[in-house]
Amino acid sequence: MSPYDRGMPPRSPLPPRHGLDAAWLCTAERDRPGVPQPTWPSMAAWLHHRLAERVHVAEFLAGGRFVYQNGAPVTAADPYLPTTFVWFHRDLADEPVVPGPLHLVYRDERIVVIDKPPFLSSIPRGRHVVQSVVVRLRAQLGLPELSPLHRLDRVTSGLLVLATERRWRGDYQTLFQRGEVTKVYRALAPLRANLRLPVTVRNHLRTRPGQWQGEVVPGAPVNAESVIELEGAHENTGRYRLTPRTGRTHQLRLHMLGLGIPIIDDPLYPVLQDVDVHDFRRPLQLLASELAFTDPIDGGQRRFASVRRLPVTAEVAGAR
């Protein structure tokens, strides 16, 4: 079985750039049974077909930015070759710098725990590539395989655990998938006089492709559970302790909304707000404040706490 059949490329001949691995493509396999083989006059024609809508192919070819597995550049005159990998680095758009430090809470051979500011994406995605935890930290710590073990929304602040290398990822990620990691969040939200707390919210949440907001599905089997407690109050604002027992997308934000106490400065709930993605002035008042688990490798007890406190404040006043 070839690498093409397995969908697994060989090792990249290009080093990471800005903490990102090179992208790759592979031409069709020679004599693949039952699959008609396209014919192309050149590798350049094939690259135009695959990438013309996303990449200036002629400029990349002229600059030697497409390379074969042996590191040699692809040229405009090269004949088409089946079962051939081509590697390249995409151009990255300019991104406003997300303000606020990435606090390094803990680091050992296997994991890194950081305390992220609001508005910083955990992974490179869409318009947030260089301005993401993964890309920043891969370069800062010299860890090209660094990857997060769980989700943390871009607008949420607080603790995020990452694996230093691929070989450690499975053992730790299993803890999160099985719900064996204790997570505690804190949030600021309105007070509601007739709401009796603590309360356990249990329902079915789902998200739809192409929609920003999640939703509750009445009558469907429970797939989301959170414990909501009130820790203190000041005037009309409560300070809440939120303990999710599952990890659905936007779970805490939807559960607080369902109780009639939406989290302060939430750009999605209860109403989708027209806020510029690079407006950093009003952070969501939700903080991933505590994490605890038993280390799957050495059995040690791991407990981490955020250095941030509520209210979460804009790191740079008026930053845009």
| Residues identified as active-site | 153
- Residue 133: CA count within 13 A, CB half-sphere: 33
3-state secondary structure of 294: strand
DSSP secondary structure letter of residue 268: S
216: nearest Cα among 270, 280, 146, 272: 270
Contact 119, 154 (CB under 8 A): yes
124: nearest Cα among 100, 87, 86, 98: 98
Q: What's the angle, vertex CA 31, arms to CA 30 and CA 34, rounded to 5?
A: 130
| Distance, CA of 244 to CA of 238 (rounded, Å) | 18
Residue spans of alpha helices (H) in 158-231 = 166-177
Phi, psi of 294 (to 5 degrees): -90, 125
| Distance, CA of 3 to CA of 219 (rounded, Å) | 46
